[in-house]
Amino acid sequence: MKIGIICYPTYGGSGVVATELGLALAGRGHEVHFFSTARPFRLGAFQSGVFFHEVPVVHYPLFEHTPYTLTLASTLHETIKLHGLDVIHAHYAIPHAAAAYLAREMGGGRPPLVTTLHGTDITLVGSHAAYAPVVKFTIDQSDRVTAVSEFLKRETHERIGVRREIRVIPNFVCGTIYRRRERNTLRELLAPRGVPVLMHVSNFRPVKRIGDLVRAFIQVHRRARCRLLLIGDGPERAQAERIAQEAGVLDDVLCLGNQGDVVELLSIADVYCLPSETESFGLSALEAMACEVPVVASRVGGLPEVVQDGETGYLFEKGNVDDMAARLLDLLRDSDRRIAMGKAARARALELFPQEKIVSQYEELYGEIV
């Protein structure tokens, strides 16, 4: 098949899932065309069967905001005419499903359109009154709609009022790439003399509640030797550093910024923390689990579908910093339990969310409509 994939190029789970899916499909012999304003950060070097189409962002003095939806629709339309795509797969409803809908209509109803909902396109931005009518319309008009968790499927029905069938195809991880490696030198560099490492990876948006994480770390740090490694960047990073500085723990809070190879870093993590306000799935938690890192996360959204409380990590009530700190401390103090939970985490990741199985589910879905 010739498959067009639309995604955001920036650091964020939806772009990661779209990119990994496209690369895996190309690995199976499909021709995959990516559409984005910049090369998605996980796309890497040239791979046979993978094409990237940069969507132009055209400025004009009259425009206060550039109408990206239209340039995306035009780019899709031209590529469909030129290459004869069999299916368009829009990742993240806003505005990708709308642009894909437009391109399909321009092509006389072809090719069919799959929309994958990722989370904030429904739970935050998508349910805003300014977007919801278009989100609902484009979901209804898609030939197939998928959501990355049962939670997100429910939310789409309840919040947006969508009645049509939504198929849950969860996010996935490649167990061959995401596995724990011996990285003693890196560990010695970032956390010398066996200091236990707590880790968090995100784009530091308010929804991630980074402040809660630093406050819990401050409590843990008073009672046990540990270091917090924060990977990624975004609007809440400076505040996180300020909280750590005021508490006098900044020396043990390392903000590494955006990183290319998270597997290397996850390989030196002892516990992964995700204290989000909401999370439709929590892909970063799954990647940590595949690297044998137990996850301490808030009991929100789709996270309970990923993290098994008491087996592969712990869940706490959102905003309960004391409980988060207690759970982190438990794991730091009991290395046997920590290691056992890490192994259980990898086993769950590979049993429920293996790349091979989930990519096949998308392939079957395309097969139904092409």
Residues of this chain that interact with ligand GMT (CB under 6 A) are 12-15, 17, 92, 118-120, 123, 148, 171, 202-203, 205, 207, 278-283
Q: Which is nearer to ligand GMT, 111 or 232 (CB)?
A: 232
Instruction: Mark out the alpha helices in the chain (DSSP H runs).
Output: 13-27, 68-83, 96-106, 120-123, 132-141, 150-160, 184-190, 210-223, 237-246, 262-266, 283-290, 303-306, 321-333, 335-352, 355-369
Q: Are 96 and 102 in contact (CB under 8 A)?
A: no
Q: Which is nearer to ligand GMT, 13 or 95 (CB)?
A: 13
Per the structure block, which two tokens stand in for 245?
Answer: 């500085």
Report strand pairing: 295-298 vs 50-54. unpaired
Least CB distance from residue 244 to ligand GMT, whole Å? 21
Q: Is 36 helix (H, G, I), strand (E, B) or coil?
A: strand
Q: Which is nearer to ligand GMT, 4 or 15 (CB)?
A: 15
Closest to 197 measured CA to CA, from 205, 188, 209, 210? 188
Q: Which is nearer to ligand GMT, 196 or 353 (CB)?
A: 353
d(CA 265, CA 68): 35
Taking CA 254 as the corner, what is the angle to CA 251 and CA 258, rounded to the nearest 5 degrees?
160
DSSP category for residue 84: -
Per the structure block, which two tokens stand in for 147?
Answer: 């959501």
Per the structure block, which two tokens stand in for 181?
Answer: 């490696």
Least CB distance from residue 290 to ligand GMT, whole Å? 14
Per the structure block, which two tokens stand in for 225?
Answer: 């030797």
Least CB distance from residue 48 to ligand GMT, whole Å? 26
Least CB distance from residue 301 to ligand GMT, whole Å? 6
Q: Which is nearer to ligand GMT, 101 or 204 (CB)?
A: 204
Q: Which is nearer to ligand GMT, 86 or 287 (CB)?
A: 287
Least CB distance from residue 145 to ligand GMT, whole Å? 14
Q: Which is nearer to ligand GMT, 33 or 209 (CB)?
A: 209
d(CA 16, CA 180): 20
Q: Is the peptide bond before 192 cis (omega within 30 degrees of 0)?
A: no
Residue whose tokens read 């278009």? 134
Closest to 2 measured CA to CA, from 36, 37, 27, 26? 26
Question: Could you tell me which residues are beta bridge partners of residue 53?
Answer: 35
Q: Which is nearer to ligand GMT, 207 or 349 (CB)?
A: 207
Per the structure block, which two tokens stand in for 219?
Answer: 């409590």
Least CB distance from residue 207 to ligand GMT, whole Å? 5
Per the structure block, which two tokens stand in for 156?
Answer: 């789409």
DSSP category for residue 274: E
Least CB distance from residue 115 to ligand GMT, whole Å? 13
d(CA 22, CA 5): 7
Closest to 103 measured CA to CA, from 125, 82, 127, 133? 82
Least CB distance from residue 152 to ligand GMT, whole Å? 8
Least CB distance from residue 167 to ligand GMT, whole Å? 14
Q: Which is nearer to ligand GMT, 92 or 131 (CB)?
A: 92
